[in-house]
Amino acid sequence: MATEIERKFLVQDDRWRSLGTGEYYKQGYIPTQDQTAVRVRIVGDRGYLTLKGKNQGMVRAEFEYSIPLGDAEMMLATLCRPPFIEKIRYRIPQGDLIWEVDEFSGENRGLILAEVELKTEHQAIALPAWIGQEVTGDPRYYNSNLVNYPYQSWPENSDV
């Protein structure tokens, strides 16, 4: 079984910006009856279909498959419920890890998150200086929840 072990953090400043280049992502979610997330994603000119199981802390089952771009576009248009998640993802190498920094746009404008995938739940990591508060396990920051409860709609962000 494919497993994702991931920690997620808020980004506290702009020192990361010069460390990587970004790529545009657009993604939507196909509605399900349970806590399984079915994501359709376009990255540049590539399409992906991903199934994710329920989070158990920082661990969950994840299966991702490349699909034709046209299929991804059709799924987003016909099967996924708007709004969509739109972001620029920056991949930043730090030691033996790759940090992914997501700068959201649209209804999630103002939110910048950093994620790092680990080999084990107890893997020790050095946090870059630009990393802020850890939000691993906080469902508000799951992309699948940001579709239904965008960052701009949070009362504390109404003026962002």
According to DSSP, the residues that pair with 39 across neighbouring strands are 29, 50
Q: What does the DSSP 8-state code read for residue 128?
A: P
At 158 the pLDDT is: 60
Q: What is the pTM of this model?
A: 0.89
Reported as a single tens digit per residue, the pLDDT across 100-153 is 999 999 999 999 999 999 999 999 999 999 999 999 989 999 998 999 899 999
* C-alpha to C-alpha distances, 117 to 5, 45, 112, 150, nearest whole angstrom: 6, 24, 17, 24
Q: What angle do CA 121, 130, 138 make, to 5 degrees?
A: 45
Q: What mean pLDDT do residues 30-50 have? A: 92
**Domains within the chain, CATH numbers bracketed:** 3-157 (2.40.320.10)
Secondary structure (3-state) at 122? coil
Reported as a single tens digit per residue, the pLDDT across 52-95 is 988 777 788 999 999 999 999 999 999 998 889 999 999 999 99
Show which residues are catalytic: 29
